[in-house]
Amino acid sequence: MSRPVIDLNGPKGRIVDAALALATVRPWRAVSLRDIAERAGMDLVGMRAHFASKADVLSAFVRAVDDAVLASLDGLVHEDPKRDQLFEIVMARFDALAPYKTALRSISADLSADPALIRAHIASQAWMLEAAGIGADGIEGGMRVAGLAAVYASVYRTWLADDDPGQARTMAALDRRLRRGERTLQTLDGVAAGVRGLADRLGGLMGSAGGRASAGMNSPSGAAGAGGDPEQGADGSTRAV
């Protein structure tokens, strides 16, 4: 991939690069924000202006990888089957991550479920789907994002352990999981379509019922309530109208 993943011209890029460099030589749990700031050539005040936690730093790296991958897809053949396009996109992501594999092994060995990092990863799955021409919105889109996230997490573990330059194990695992996931998502798409259709029908029924009730209240007999005064309660007190 010709596009560099991390832009070192700005402070954010230098911080991300420093964090990954430190993760290459020591366990991620042993890396502190002060360590990262010192490696990036700034103090904690400068660090705090851009990131509040190590998870924030990693989230910025995830987004930088997203940008690099999306910018590298000019040669993607849009007429290919969606699964084939998604295969190429995920492999392009692994290519972008390759220079940082040692650091990522360290990070993966001690990675907590931080909400900011989870959001960044979920957004990545959505962008990869959209790049393949697969919608990531709505009920069906949410299911596709969750499905791709499960596929990616599984294959990512294979990739971390795959030292073959040709990445044969990674490609085989990705192809297998995408084929399996495609069948599962076809089923889930049908379920989601059924749920959406049911919700639409229920909404229509509720709207019809509300319309009938409104019409009844606007009629003379409905408003008076069997001869009663519409503004009077059973005890003769006046109700707010």
pTM: 0.75
Q: How far is CA 33 from the centre of its chain?
A: 26
Q: Nearest CA to 54 among 128, 109, 135, 114?
A: 114
**Tokens, residue 190:** 């049908």
Domains of the chain: 11-195 (1.10.357.10)
pLDDT in tens, 96-153: 999 999 999 999 998 777 888 999 999 999 999 999 999 999 988 999 999 999 999 9
Cα-Cα-Cα-Cα torsion 37, 41, 46, 47, nearest 10 degrees, comes to: -20
**Tokens, residue 18:** 């420093």
Q: Are residues 54 and 23 in contact, defined by beta-carbon separation less than 8 angstroms?
A: no
- Residue written as token pair 């962008």: 127
Integer CA distances (angstroms), 198 to 67, 99, 191, 194, 212, in order? 38, 49, 11, 6, 21
DSSP category for residue 3: S
Identify the pLDDT of residue 45.
97
**Tokens, residue 191:** 């379920």
pLDDT in tens, 188-210: 555 555 555 555 666 666 665 55
58 CB burial (10 A radius; 0-12, 13-18, 19+): buried
Beta carbons within 8 Å of 132's beta carbon, 6+ residues apart: 82, 85, 86, 89
